[in-house]
Structure 1
Amino acid sequence: MATPLRVLIHGGGIGGLTLATALARRGHTVEVAELRDEVDALGVGIIQPSNALHVMREIGVLDDCLEAGFEWEVLTIADPAGNTLAEIPQPRMGDAPSNNGIPRPALARVLNSAAVGAGAKIRIGTTITELTDDGQGVDVTLSDGSSGRWDLVVGFDGIGSPLRTRLYGDRYTPEYTGFANWRVTVPRQPQVRGVVMGTAGKDAKALLTPITEELMYLGAVFAEAEDFRPDPERAHEQLTERLSMFSGPVAEALATVTDPASVVYSRISQVTVEEPWHVGRVVLAGDAAHASTPHIAQGAAMAVEDALVLAESLDAEAEVAAALDAWEARRRPRAMWVQAMSRAVLKQETGSGTTSKEDELLKVGIPGAAHVLVKPY
């Protein structure tokens, strides 16, 4: 773009703050409207694979992420007792590390600081209440009573995206997969220096993921009824019951969990917006457009890739419409591949039936997927 743009980002999560930083560093005027009362992150930890870390390098925060987290290079496969079955080195994208585990709140602080430092304005406790796109710009009224005109509005507002509903009605509501994720932060065991995936056939899988020198998180996926919610008085006991076939490191980690409120439970859903991800000058990105299951740890990576590629596309094109077309042409095939691969792995790990297309994807496997995703995008 020859002229800097005014861009409103709806959502101050990982993707939204990455885009805010990338655009503000390029001289665009950027504001972020975040519904929550503070720019923080719920949950436990997150894996930043090498392609996500490549984006962090591009927006200038790689060192901050590595300092706040735990860098690792090898995926370990273990039996239910914790005995090592295989050690799989992880690939790198360029000179970015293979992986980094990081607490979600720490990553939120890093990205918020970067966005503000680059010149973006963050409006907390604020959402869009009215929006009119006349083809030349977008007039927006926010819930704090302010209004303005923007050259581009970007929805990084998550799987339950209000902006997606505004654009498409109820055509793309989240689809529950039948499975849910249980996670809890525990002290890091000295031997856990990378992700340790403990497997007990199709009945259960448990992952130990280091996120700092002191902490790791335990994660597990189980089939759960759509209306199930953990008992607030004994969620930690319910998780222990589900992982009763594990001994060794998993059992040791569970023994440290005494507070049921520390267990984070989230249903696994996905969204696929089949129509174009942009309507006029309003665009959806990240989970708002293509939420995936977490089975190859690429959901947040796809969001930050979306953000960087959108900034690059706006650099390369003279008009907003052309930039959005170019952005989606680059992003849709890769994001849809990640979504399909993630869903196939979920079904395989839980013993569900797979399609012939999913069987072909599963021949690539999780290690192969990592090698696919460190290629340039």
Structure 2
Amino acid sequence: MATPLRVLIHGGGIGGLTLATALAQRGHLVRVAELRGELDALGVGIIQPSNALHVMRELGVLDDCLAAGFEWDTLTINDPVGNTLAKIPQPRMADAPACNGIPRPALAAVLGAAAVAAGAEIGFGTTITELADDGEGVEVTLSDGSTARWDLVVGFDGIGSPLRQRLYGERYAPEYTGFANWRVTVPRQSEVRGVVMSTGDRTAKALLTPITEELMYLGAVFAESEDFRPDPERAHQQLAERLAAFGGPVAEALTRVTDPAAVVYSRISQVTVEEPWSVGRVVLAGDAAHASTPHIAQGAAMAVEDALVLAQSLDAAEDVPAALAAWEARRRPRAMWVQNISRAVLKQETGTPTTPEEDELLKVGIPGAAHVLVQPY
């Protein structure tokens, strides 16, 4: 489209800030409505696989991400006591590095600075309260009382997306998988120079992920009841109890976990919007449309791919509806493949029965999935 668009992005997470940057760099007028008071980025660290780093290169922030994180190219598989079973080189997309671990707050700072530098406006403490789409534009009232008309509204507002609920009601509420993620940041051990995955029986897996020269995070997935929450006074002890069978670097990392408040606990849920991801000139992207389990570390990568491809689709199409249709045609198959294989790996690792379709995906496996996803998006 030759005419600059007015675009409102609901949500200032990784996907929303990526889209804000990509659109503002193209000359569109962009505002991000972010409910939080700042870009504080909940959580610990994140893995940026090569396809995500390729997006960062396209935005011009790859060097900033690498400087703030820890670049690596080999996945190490250990047994529970710490013996190395395999070292698996990770593939690259074009000229992007293989992988980067980065603290979530650092990535938020990089993307927020890029969005503002490109000309996007970020409004904190705001959310959509009223929305009316007349086919030619969308009239939106925000919680700060401002009202404006936009050519496009994009919901990058996460797995609990209020915009998704506004569009589809309760039809696509997050589905709890029965498993939860425990994560905590600890000092990086010198031998942890890439992700180290330690596998026990079918009820336990632990990962060590470097995110800076000084830091890494310990992550573990366990079956948990839906109403379980860690004890705020002894969350670190509860994590240690769950990982009692592990030795080697996992056990060493646990000795550094002394503060229960440092343990981040999150239930693993999934969202699949089976209807079109856009309704008129309002569209959902990232976890709001297709949240996956974290088992192939591609959730945030899918969000940033969504963002860049949406900007590219707006470049190529004659109008917004045509761009949204072209964008979803490109994105849905890839995002659903990631969601399906991630869920299959979760079920395999926990001894849950799989379907024939999932068995076919499991033949690809985690190493094979990395090679599939360095193909063009």
The letter for the 2-side match of 1:362 is L
- What SS does the aligned partner of 1:106 have? helix
Distance 2:249 2:11 in 1: 37
Task: State the match for 1:301 in structure 2.
Answer: 301
Whether 1:118 and 2:108 are equivalent positions in the alignment is: no
SS of alignment partner, residue 7 of structure 1: strand
Provide structure 2 residue ranges, at least 5 long, that are not aligned to the other structure. Answer: none
Cα distance in structure 2, aligned partners of 1:357 and 1:241: 35
Q: Which amino acid aligns with 2:32?
A: V
**Equivalent residue, structure 1, for 2:318:** 318
Which letter maps to 1:165?
Q
Deviations, residues 88-120 of structure 1 (Å, cap 9, x unaligned)? 000000000000000000000000000000000
Return structure 1 stretches of 4+ with deviation > 2 angstroms.
none
**1:348 alignment partner in structure 2:** 348
The offset of 1:40, in angstroms, is 2.0
Corresponding residue for residue 247 of structure 1: 247
Asked if 1:336 is matched to 2:336, the reply is yes
Work out whether 1:33 is the aligned partner of 2:16.
no
Tell me the residue number matched to 1:193. 193
State how far apart, in whole Å, the 2-side matches of 1:201 and 1:229 are.
23
- State the shift of 1:201 in Å: 2.4
Who is 2:235 aligned against?
A: 235
Q: Residue 46 of structure 1 corresponds to which residue in structure 2?
A: 46
User: Alignment partner of 1:87: what SS?
Assistant: strand
Q: Which amino acid aligns with 2:329?
A: A
Q: Residue 131 in 1 paired to residue 134 in 2?
A: no
Query: What's 1:142 paired with?
Result: 142
* Counterpart residue identity of residue 197, structure 1: M
Partner of 1:83: 83
Percent of aligned positions with the same letter in both sequences?
A: 84
What secondary structure sits across from 1:268 in the alignment? strand
Q: Once the 2 structures are TM-superposed, how far is the Cα of residue 39 of structure 1 from its aligned partner?
A: 1.5
Pairwise CA distance, 1:80 = 1.0
1:188-227 deviations in Å (ceiling 9; x for gaps): 0000000000011212110000000000000000000000
Once the 2 structures are TM-superposed, how far is the Cα of residue 282 of structure 1 from its aligned partner? 0.2
| Equivalent residue, structure 2, for 1:276 | 276
Asked whether the equivalents of residues 61 and 110 of structure 2 are also in contact (C-alpha less than 8 Å), the reply is: yes
Aligned to 1:360: 360
- Give 1:257's aligned residue: 257
SS at match of 2:82: coil
Q: In 2, distance between residues paired with 1:170 and 1:204?
A: 33
SS at match of 1:208: strand
Counterpart Cα distance in 2 of 1:351 and 1:217 = 26
TM-score normalised according to structure 1 size? 1.00
| Residue identity matched to 1:273 | V
**Unaligned stretches of 5+ residues in structure 1:** none
Paired letter, 1:76: T
- How far is 1:83 from its partner? 1.0
Aligned residue in 2 for 1:67: 67
Match of 1:221 in 2: 221
* Residues in 2 aligned to 1:138 and 1:129: alpha-carbon distance in whole angstroms: 13
Query: Aligned residue for 2:13?
Result: 13
Residue deviations 1:214-272 (CA, integer Å, cap 9, x gap): 00000000000000000000000000000000011101100111000000000000000
Alignment length (residue pairs): 377
User: Is contact 2:47–2:102 with CA below 8 Å preserved after alignment?
Assistant: yes
| Aligned mates of 2:170, 2:208 — CA distance in 1 | 37
What is the CA distance between 1:81 and its match in structure 2?
1.4
2:32, 2:147 → 1: CA distance? 13
CA RMSD after TM alignment: 0.4
- Secondary structure, counterpart of 1:145 in structure 2: coil
Q: Tell me if the contact between 2:34 and 2:125 (Cα under 8 Å) persists in the aligned partners.
A: yes
Aligned equivalents of 1:162, 1:203: Cα separation in 2: 34
Residue 235 of structure 1 aligns with an amino acid whose one-letter code is A
Other-structure match for 2:290: 290
Q: Is contact 2:11–2:157 with CA below 8 Å preserved after alignment?
A: yes
Aligned residues of 2:203 and 2:223 also touching (Cα < 8 A): no
Secondary structure in 1 aligned to 2:352? Answer: coil
Equivalent residue number for residue 159 of structure 1: 159
1:95 aligns with 2:95: yes
SS in 2 for 1:339: helix
Q: What TM-score results when the alignment is normalised by the length of structure 2?
A: 1.00
Contact 2:80 2:245 in 1 (8 A): yes
